[in-house]
Homo-oligomer: A and B are copies of this chain.
Amino acid sequence: MLETFETVAKAVADPSRLRILKLLEGGELCVCQITTVLDLAAATVSKHLALLKTAGLLQQRREGKWVYYRLADRALTPHAPAFLSLVAAALTGDPTIAADRALLARVNAVPLARICAQGRSALQDDPSPLCCGSAS
């Protein structure tokens, strides 16, 4: 029990994984979308996602060649829901998180196949204000 708490807390105690959790608060995402926003090696992101899933914070769904992750919508492990609530309530104004959200908006403006194939280079060079408006 103490050990599962430790697992979940450790999962949340990493900036890349926190960014993933905050991204997924907007709904499920494909691995390549997350990889594009975080700008990390695919292997690294995959490992983070696996760790978050082990902690009970994420669920997985396969659709063809693509794998989608989303926040767990039920208690997969004892402490996961509490931590998800805490994370959801926190970091709302963090600049890194805000930047990630903004970048995700641009990623969402491009067909998924292109994001998976080309990553960041699939994004338009000029993020016009017409596209990707802020949430506020």
Contact = CB atoms under 8 A, between A and B. Distances in A.
Chain A interface helix/strand/loop/mixed: helix
B96 A2 contact: yes
B2 A91 contact: yes
Contacts of A5: 18, 90-91, 94
A12 B9 contact: yes
A131 to B, nearest CB: 26
Q: Select the residue from A13, A18, A79, A91 with max chain B CB neighbours within 10 A.
A: A13
A1 B89 contact: no
Given A6-B18, A10-B13, A13-B13, A1 B79 contact: no
Contact of A13 (B6, B19, B97): B6
